[in-house]
Structure 1
Amino acid sequence: MTDAPSARDLHAPADMVRWYAPVQLLQTAGRVAVSTLLGDQLDRRILRPAPSHEPTDFSHREQLVLDFVSDSGDGWNPTYAVAYWATRPILRVHGVHGRAYELPRAGVLVFGGDQVYPTPSRAAYEQRLVLPYECAFDRSEPPHPVLFAVPGNHDWYDSLATFTKLFLDKQWFCGWQVHQRASYFAARLPHDWWLVGVDVQLGSDIDANQVEYFRGLAARMGPRAKIILCTAEPHWVRTHELRDRGARTRRARDGNLAFLQDHVFGRRIRVFLSGDLHHYRRHATADGQIQKITAGGGGAFLHPTHVLRDDPLAGGYGLRCAFPDRRASRRLAWRNLAFPLQNPGFGAVTGLLYLMIGWNVHAALGDYPAAAFLPALSDMLSATLRSPWAATWVLLTAAGFVAFTDARRRRLRVLAGLVHTGAHLLAALAVTWLGGQLGRALALEWGSAAQTALGLAALLGAGWLVGAAIFGAYLLVAVNVFGRHGNEAFSSLRIQDFKHFLRLHIRRDGALVIYAIGLPRVPRRWRTMVGADPGEPKVVPDDPHPDTLPRLIEPPIVVGPG
């Protein structure tokens, strides 16, 4: 079968989010605007009392296996691929040197943020997160694994209302027991390891209840305590990328999250885990005893790795591994040349823009544009300035592209926005000229219904295709030449592959071993298992491609003991 099945409707899997579909753009922009403007007033953490219960205690166990999965809940293929492999009783993977590993299923699952895309709702969580994990691992016989979840910015777009109902007000998530009752959590692990999950809301902000909770937790930790800290954003990457921007860097470093790290937990934090950026990148100290890992490969579209700096972070944390590597990431960006095919609906935006500019220029010309293009271009530019509506559309377009441009300096933003606008204006006028020449060739009278309809149809159709192509070319140049617009250039591609998750094993000797498990390609075909037993997957991969099998991204990372 070619369609990816789900538990309740075997023929309606979730597709990857189409970020550039016009309706989706408006919906997402509206949610983001409301949450940004009213985020502080609708902070659900303030309304919900601080948890009074004891942290979940696993310290009596000799060893523990824990999975970290972040940025899931997008298309069926990548989300279910991660869920399927993470829930196998024994996961068999090959390392970079051919060595085989057999890893037991995790007793703890941590969702690291952004559990659903594009915006949270009950239906979105059900289709994009609950159903894949329900198909992979529903309730089975005890012992039951435990789940914790850190909310990301996409979970916060409804002020955490749906996240609260799904993870905080219930005792079960599919086959996992839910132990947390706040948007942040802590668990005591074997051999003086601790698991801490922090909720940074939308502005890297930690509320007072949360700070006090973690202060009390830190006071109870012994001198040999070692912390695995889970946050929804890799603040070490953000700070590093902003380090040449003065005040902005200082604000990023002086926030409550930095206070929690520097003054509450301090050097006890041995492993930093985060998602938000949908790729794998690991930084570490020279001795490897403090790790900072970005692992946002749970199901969302791929983010590039080649746009980020590869020099050491503050404190001497060097870049140890990236997945995909810089060369593969740069190569994938070239797919933006097919932007109109990847995002067919976006052409409606550029088509309407070209139509409005060309229509008003058409009305102001009064006759066919000159047969030669350059003289005609001068006439059409003059007509644009004479037409208040055409000039207004051009100015609005320029303002929009300047605001959209991702540049470090204001002058560069203005320059790039105007160049982008100029490319679209030139294309719109060229289409207007071509429409006029076609009308002349067909002996249509200027201003007649037939000639006007032909010109407008040409503007809409060419604007749909050419405008989207110019936009894609802009994203390609921005991401591959200037290292900007990484999010916009790769959300357009909706790349399903290069997914991953982390499996952390606290061994009997107290050492922590981190396995970064990668899926270079996620399956495109699935087979339904009719009458599957409880706890068994309802759907299994049916794709023979060898890259769909899990493998280690890099050799196992050992932290500790001691």
Structure 2
Amino acid sequence: MTDVPTARDLHAPADMVRWYAPVQLLQTAARVAVSTALGDQLDRRLLRPVPPDELTDFSHRDQLVLDFVADSGDGWNPTYAVAYWATRPVLRVHGPHGRAYELPRASVLVFGGDQVYPTPSRTAYEQRLVLPYECAFERSAPPHPVLFAVPGNHDWYDSLATFTKLFLDKRWFCGWQIHQRASYFAARLPHDWWLVGVDVQLGSDIDAHQVDYFRALAERMGPRARIILCTAEPHWVRAHEQRDRKARLRRVRDGNLAFLERLFGPRIRVFLSGDLHHYRRHATADGRVQKITAGGGGAFLHPTHVLHDDPLAGGHGLRCAFPDPATSRRLAWRNLAFPLQNPSFGAVTGLLYLLIGWNLRAALDGPPAAEFLPALSDMSSALLRSPWAALWLLATAGALVWFADARRAHRRWLAGLVHAAAHAFAVLALTWLAGQIAGACGLAWDSAAAIGIGLVILLGLGWLFSSLIFGVYLLLAVNLFRRHGNEAFSSLRIQDFKHFVRLHVRRDGALVLYPIALRRVPRRWRTMVGADPGEPKLVPDDPHPDTLPGLIEPPIVLGPG
């Protein structure tokens, strides 16, 4: 029995990304800044045009099963759990009403974007994506399953260099054959269903080669064609959440999704995307068109309660969310344990407390008054008289205003300044506390021992209270104002509530979608000694009942017509 995979010694199993670790924050910010600044100059899509007639053809089959897995490549447990269950020869699941389904393994796997976190590199892909999938399904027997991959923004942070080497320059990914030579693709499925994958580089426009390719594809399709469109971002959600009506209409009219909708017209029947790490399905009233966000392949959970539930443009109503908003709101309360979830974050904020409090102390003429309110007034005046203390406080306030998640400038300023005021109050309170402790010990205000006590309290308790204030800020923002959903839940690094979508093109021409839920991913795994390359190297060894897969909602059926 083991908690650690032993299939390879090249890399250790990955923990969930610690987004608030100071070094990680700096590295991620640097990669994002460089890729954003140089994205247009390093657009690899321009170097790999695909002939307009290149197409993977499955139309000779009478049926086909396809899996959509997005936002994988984070921690070992969730990534391997999805890989393990997706590669079982027969997946047995129960629906919400107790009905059992036996689903055959997919012949096609589509990675729907953001295959690795936090930024791409050979080591990151190997450790966070290849190793889990190799442990689950290292080799396959003919007929070999096929893999396609859409790059997301995290894949683009090295200008798609590592993605290209892993998915475009090779013929195999573990047990899957790779059938694409560019970051976009198309495949003809049975019964005139089509699979289309689009690459939108860091939110930029679709490049000219893709435009030519998809125009030729649209001309090739017949009037009865039905399309499953895979994109790395749910543009329909992004547009809908833009509550300013003019900006919302402009985005809907001019965006990449609008171009594709104009090009393919009503033939698009299913929109599939990741990027948001939860499951949400919108559909037209008659169910003919489905828009599904399914970013549950392995990354930390995103909240569902921060998004609006009124119909999208075109009348697509919200049909299901996983986790449900009540559960999502309850999970947000874990931010009260922010210092425990993100222990190294306080090193930076505690140091800021130390710099502000040290300079504040130097500006005081003597120990603060024993009564807190008079002392607070004196210390506030001293804070303003100290250039260095005021400078560090202003720098902190500026950073928090920049960090605030608000569309309107006055709300951003208000949120940032209130947040900064809470930290300023904490610094003053800790400075006062240090003075009282030194006085109780009979130490002179300017003695080395008193100064030492003050610095230890500012750094030590500042480490704790600054993180706690930050966590409370995120909790209030996400639960009261529907803001900071990404920041509030990336701090929690929730492994559970993972999912993927299995699609079955049936013999009668209907398409059935099965949203597979892993409400809890296993925490323990048992090594299978001498396992065949086509069999998993590790199997779940967690007795919790929620580790078994089930359906998020009943199967969604799109008829053959």
Match of 1:328 in 2: 327
Match of 1:527 in 2: 526
Alignment of 1:492-503 (within 5 A): 492-503=491-502
- Are the aligned partners of 1:3 and 1:13 in contact in 2 as well (CA < 8 Å)? no
Match of 1:186 in 2: 186
**1:35 Cα shift?**
1.0
Alignment of 1:379-458 (within 5 A): 379-458=378-457
Give the letter aligned to residue 148 of structure 1.
F
Match of 1:119 in 2: 119
Give the letter aligned to residue 290 of structure 1.
V
**In structure 2, the residue corresponding to 1:202 is in which secondary structure?**
helix
**1:12 Cα shift?**
2.9
**1:546 Cα shift?**
0.3
How far apart are the structure 1 equivalents of 2:260 and 2:319?
A: 26
Match of 1:20 in 2: 20
In structure 2, relative to structure 1, the CA distance for the partners of 1:25 and 1:62 (3 Å cut) is: same
**1:53 Cα shift?**
5.7
Match of 2:368 in 1: 369
**1:10 Cα shift?**
10
Deviations 1:50-103 (A, max 9, x none): 345620000000000000000000000000000000000000001111111000
How far apart are the structure 2 equivalents of 1:101 and 1:248?
A: 41
Match of 1:459 in 2: 458
**1:392 Cα shift?**
0.6
**1:433 Cα shift?**
0.6
Match of 2:208 in 1: 208
The count of aligned residue pairs is: 561
**In structure 1, the residue corresponding to 2:347 is in which secondary structure?**
helix
**1:253 Cα shift?**
3.7
**1:411 Cα shift?**
0.7
Give the letter aligned to residue 277 of structure 2.
H
- Are the aligned partners of 1:195 and 1:227 in contact in 2 as well (CA < 8 Å)? yes
**1:47 Cα shift?**
2.4
Deviations 1:156-206 (A, max 9, x none): 000000000000000000000000000000000000000000001102421
**1:265 Cα shift?**
0.7
Deviations 1:202-235 (A, max 9, x none): 0242101101100000100011000000000000
Match of 1:265 in 2: 264
RMSD: 1.2
How far apart are the structure 2 equivalents of 1:520 and 1:397?
A: 39
- Are the aligned partners of 1:243 and 1:249 in contact in 2 as well (CA < 8 Å)? no
Match of 2:303 in 1: 304
In structure 2, relative to structure 1, the CA distance for the partners of 1:233 and 1:548 (3 Å cut) is: same
Alignment of 1:58-137 (within 5 A): 58-137=58-137
**1:108 Cα shift?**
0.1
Deviations 1:210-265 (A, max 9, x none): 01100000100011000000000000000000042523651354023311222x11
How far apart are the structure 1 equivalents of 2:378 and 2:58?
A: 77
**In structure 2, the residue corresponding to 1:7 is in which secondary structure?**
coil
How far apart are the structure 1 equivalents of 2:65 and 2:204?
A: 29
Question: Is there any run of 5+ residues in structure 1 with no aligned partner, and where?
Answer: none
**1:11 Cα shift?**
9.2
How far apart are the structure 1 equivalents of 2:245 and 2:473?
A: 25
How far apart are the structure 1 equivalents of 2:6 and 2:357?
A: 47
Give the letter aligned to residue 519 of structure 1.
L
- Are the aligned partners of 1:3 and 1:11 in contact in 2 as well (CA < 8 Å)? no
Give the letter aligned to residue 492 of structure 1.
S
Deviations 1:250-308 (A, max 9, x none): 1354023311222x111100000000000000000111110000000000000000000
- Are the aligned partners of 1:4 and 1:10 in contact in 2 as well (CA < 8 Å)? no
Match of 2:240 in 1: 240
- Are the aligned partners of 1:4 and 1:11 in contact in 2 as well (CA < 8 Å)? no
- Are the aligned partners of 1:321 and 1:554 in contact in 2 as well (CA < 8 Å)? yes
Match of 2:231 in 1: 231
How far apart are the structure 1 equivalents of 2:462 and 2:209?
A: 53
**1:432 Cα shift?**
0.6
Q: Identity across aligned pairs (percent)? A: 82
Comparing 413-422 with 199-208, greater Cα deviation is found at 199-208
Comparing 244-253 with 30-39, greater Cα deviation is found at 244-253
How far apart are the structure 2 equivalents of 1:249 and 1:397?
A: 36
**1:370 Cα shift?**
1.1
**In structure 1, the residue corresponding to 2:203 is in which secondary structure?**
coil
Deviations 1:524-562 (A, max 9, x none): 000111110120000100000000000000000001202
In structure 2, relative to structure 1, the CA distance for the partners of 1:249 and 1:377 (3 Å cut) is: farther
How far apart are the structure 2 equivalents of 1:159 and 1:529?
A: 38
TM-score (norm 1): 0.98
Match of 2:177 in 1: 177
How far apart are the structure 2 equivalents of 1:204 and 1:496?
A: 31
Match of 2:344 in 1: 345
**1:380 Cα shift?**
1.0
How far apart are the structure 2 equivalents of 1:244 and 1:11?
A: 47
How far apart are the structure 1 equivalents of 2:2 and 2:341?
A: 20
**In structure 1, the residue corresponding to 2:201 is in which secondary structure?**
coil
- Are the aligned partners of 1:65 and 1:106 in contact in 2 as well (CA < 8 Å)? yes
Match of 2:470 in 1: 471
Deviations 1:457-480 (A, max 9, x none): 100011110000000000000000
How far apart are the structure 2 equivalents of 1:95 and 1:158?
A: 41
TM-score (norm 2): 0.98
Question: Is there any run of 5+ residues in structure 2 with no aligned partner, and where?
Answer: none
Deviations 1:333-388 (A, max 9, x none): 00000000000011111101101110100111131111111111111111111111
